[in-house]
Amino acid sequence: MQKRGEVSLEALVKFIPHFILVVCLIAALVAIYKIALPKEQTTPAMDDLDRVAVNIRQLAPGDVFPVFTTTHGHSFILYRKNYPELPKNCGQQACLCVFDTQGVRTCNKLGNTDLPVTENGTETCPSGIYEQCQYMKPCVFKYAKTVNIDNPGDSVYVCRSCTEILISDNKAECLRHVQSV
């Protein structure tokens, strides 16, 4: 005799296939919803922005990375933290923005960066010997550095001295920049 509220083994065995079927149906509905849901529209300039920002975040002291672009007619601007004319969607963080051919600005926050320090009346990014540099936060020294992309396939060079991050369309400029490490 079964007590009230007690489930028999037979009823439990019959329930398991139904439960698995319901879970599979829910998973299929979620997959269909994600496929049918419109995705955010990206442009080649936004794709280039993402690639450059990823490379900036991965920079170690002394690194120089060329990032090849897929389109032309846009400009990258690297803004330092707390820049007076910093775009609102950057908050108060350093960020990289791209202006596409239609003049639309899209920005990507760079996150954990330091402000330049004032030494002897001049602003400079913190520096040290190579072993110290590895543990120091990166710094964007210039208020706003612009790189224009004129031809498809042009490179944007991203580089880091001890702490200072720089973007350029000139490899030699980046190589001079990192020689201090």
Domain count, the chain: 2
State pTM to two decimals: 0.69
Instruction: Report the amino acid identity of residue 159.
Output: C
One domain, residues 147 and 79: yes
DSSP assignment letter at 89? G
- Read off the pLDDT of residues 57-66 as tens digits, 9 standing for 90 and up: 888 888 999 9
Q: Confirm whether 78 is domain-assigned.
A: yes
Q: Confirm whether 75 is domain-assigned.
A: yes
How many other CB atoms are found less than 10 A from the CB of residue 1?
A: 3
The domain containing residue 32 runs over which residues?
Answer: 8-39
* Residue 45 exposed, middle or buried by CB count within 10 Å (0-12, 13-18, 19+): buried
One domain, residues 97 and 170: yes
- Read off the pLDDT of residues 15-41 as tens digits, 9 standing for 90 and up: 888 889 999 999 999 888 878 776 667
| Cα 177 from Cα 53, distance rounded (Å) | 19
One domain, residues 131 and 160: yes
One domain, residues 25 and 49: no
